[in-house]
Amino acid sequence: MSSTVSASPRQRWTGLAVLVLAVTVVALDATVLSLAIPSISETLEPSGTQLLWIGDSYSFVLAGLLVSMGSLSDRIGRKKLLLIGAAAFGAASLLAAYAPSAGWLILARALLGVAGATIMPSTLSLIRGLFPDDRERATAIGIWGAAATAGAALGPVVGGVLLEHFWWGSVFLLNIPILLLLLVLGAWLLPESKDPNPGRWDVLSVALSMAGVIGTVYAIKEAAAHGVARWDVPVAFVLGVTALTVFVRRQLRLETPLLDVRLFRDRRFTAAVLASLIALIGLSGVVFVTSQYLQLVRGYEPLRAGLAELPAFVGAVVGGLLTARLVRRTGARAALTGCLLAMGLGVGVLGWLQQDTTYLLLATSFLLVGTAEGVVYTLGADLVLSASPADKAGAASAVSETAYELGTALGIALVGSVVGSIYAGGLVVPAGTDPAAAARAGESLGAAVETAHGLPQGVAEPLVASARESFTHGMNSAGLLAAVLLIGAAAMAWRLLRGLDAPTSAATPVTPATAVTAVTAVEVPAPEKPQKPQKPEKVGA
């Protein structure tokens, strides 16, 4: 990786502050809209499907482009792409804030995803350039990870404060002053860095990666919501899987691949990517449904609902900052596995929530899930960076971020679709309800509450009661499903990381064809004196 100059300690840490600002904005935007869903339902009147797309079009596009943009940042410069992305993010935020219809809002969220894809991988790869020392980089990644997870957890709180006083579009206008600050400070404080020998940017690989990710996720989303009987579900799945297969084979043949898929031969890399992916499936789906549960089932105002989710924010910050200390005590394997299990336990609590369950139980669940996710995300990012060559930091970072955003998209798609399907199947519409009103109520809980406002009290009350009960049952099932996925991820991480907690330097070079037996930077400081390198262990793909 080439860099303009060696940064002084002051430059390094102020540069990190700028990168933290960038990652917080992108993470915040993934969840800040969750509390605005009832308000959007009332104003724009989206269908149930449009409501899900409003929630996850951002993450879908972000996940589909992250690998491509990470590779592009290695080629044209990580600072340059970060600043371009920040400007584009601001423009897309304005479009989203004043979207006149559900379709326009979906489009604006997708454009935000394009812009966000240029920001996220640049932040993590620039950290690697700013902090060549293993211990400093471990601390920096811990702060970065805390900011990313805290940004996502803080989204509902910020959304609640804004929605208490302004219309739903205000959650997007919040981005503008932060991004202006980012542009000014980033241009001044951040050093430029890129791959000195980047090679050709393969456009066909870009198209294949996008088609593969979006096609596969769309098929999973629609299958969860409507089953596999519709023709578009198997067609999208086949096209998505085929595109991903062709993409992988093409990367193995290219001299300068968009993504070096051989990195997955390193068991640390694979464990980190899969753990991040599955952890975010559980977390994002829970945030999506609990935000609606708090407002539409328990009757909380937006600000109160946001504050109710505050323990997740506190936990995320604590978990990210304590990752280095935890891993030095227990090793990466125990830390990653234990926190995935803790997330599964916390998410599984949703399986027993009722409309009148004490808030203390929910707060405990939020705190546990947030803290564990802070560790999983931060440790996963460090494992990915330490397993990749320095000159490919952007592309490798993009894989970590792709897992994060793809997990977010899948979580909303799977959990949201499961809740929606159970809700629609369990909703009892009182006799005599107008067919159009009944159809509208079946779209979502928010639509049912809004529809009830125009019905006679004798019809409205039982309709809302049935809607709340059906939604709660759907949330219970979704919570148990997410818990099973997280427990499975813990077992997977324990198996993949077996034997990789040996006390060797994190700075050991990583070759694509081998798995490295070194621990990550957050586990053991680099040795003061050179040690005889150990023979790496061969691991199959």
For residue range 59-108, list pLDDT tens digits in order: 778 777 777 777 777 777 778 888 888 889 889 989 988 988 888 999 99
Domain end: 253, 288, 321, which one? 253
pLDDT at residue 246, as a whole number: 93
Share of the chain above pLDDT 70, in %: 79
Determine the structural domain holding residue 235 and report its residue range.
203-253
Are residue 125 and residue 196 in the same domain, yes or no?
A: yes
CA 262/CA 259 separation, integer angstroms: 9
Residue 237 shares a structural domain with residue 346: no
User: What rounded mean pLDDT belongs to the chain?
Assistant: 76
Distance CA 508, CA 515 (A): 11
Please name the residue ranges forming H helices in 443-502.
445-452, 457-496
pLDDT in tens, 157-194: 777 778 778 888 888 888 888 888 888 887 887 777 66
Question: CA 497 to CA 334: how far, in whole Å?
Answer: 9
| Residues 160 and 70 reside in one and the same domain | yes
Exposed (0-12), middle (13-18) or buried (19+): which is 154, by Cβ within 10 Å? buried
Look at residues 294, 413, 274 and name the one whose alpha carbon lies nearest to residue 353.
294
Distance in angstroms (rounded) separating the CA atoms of residues 35 and 102: 16
536 part of a folded domain: no
Number of other residues whose CB lies within 10 A of the CB of residue 173:
16
Q: Tally Cβ neighbours within 10 Å of residue 133.
A: 14
| Arithmetic mean of pLDDT, 268-274 | 84
pLDDT of residue 420: 78
Name the DSSP letter for residue 77: -
Together in a domain, 126 and 259: yes
Same domain, yes or no, for 358 and 237? no
For residue 193, list its beta bridge partners. 3
| Residue of 431 and 413 predicted with greater confidence | 431
Instruction: Using alpha carbons only, give the angle 26, 97, 164 rounded to the nearest 5 degrees.
Output: 90
Residues 306 and 157 in one domain: yes
DSSP letter for 193, please: E
Q: Answer with the one of 474, 496, 518 that is the final residue of a domain.
A: 496
Asked whether 463 and 441 are in contact (CB, 8 A), the reply is: yes
- Domain check: are 375 and 445 in the same one? yes
| Beta strands, E only, 241-280 | none
Q: Is 507 contained in some domain?
A: no
470 in the same domain as 421? yes
Which among 108, 73, 172 is positioned nearest to 401, based on CA atoms? Answer: 73
Same-domain status, 52 and 161: yes
First and final CA of the chain: distance in angstroms? 26
Query: Considering the domain boundaries, does residue 183 fall inside one?
Result: yes
Residues in the chain: 541
Provide the b/e sequence for 107-119 (b: ≥16 CB within 10 Å).
bbbbbbbbbbbbb
Q: At 194, which helix (H) or strand (E)?
A: strand 193-194
- Domain-located, residue 521: no
Nearest 5°: the CA angle 165, 167, 172 is 105
**Which CATH number fits the domain that encloses residue 168?**
1.20.1250.20
Q: Are 521 and 135 in contact (CB under 8 A)?
A: yes
Residue 243 included in any domain? yes
Q: Are 173 and 262 within one domain?
A: yes
Residues 233, 247, single domain; the answer is: yes
Residue 302 region, left (φ>0) first, then alpha (ψ -120 to 50), else beta? alpha
In a domain? residue 508: no
CB-based contact 7:19 (threshold 8 Å): no
pLDDT on residue 227: 67
Number of domains in the chain: 2
**Backbone φ, ψ for residue 191 (5° rounding):** -80, 155
In a domain, 512, yes or no: no
**Of 253, 282, 313, which residue is a domain's last?**
253
Q: Is residue 503 part of a domain?
A: no
What was the pLDDT predicted at 382? Answer: 78
Q: How many helices (H) and strands (E) does the chain have?
A: 19, 2
Strand partners, 537: 515
Within this chain, do residues 466 and 481 fall inside the same structural domain, yes or no? yes
pLDDT digits (tens, 9 = 90+) for 11-40: 778 888 888 887 777 777 766 776 677 778
**What does the pLDDT read at residue 509?**
33
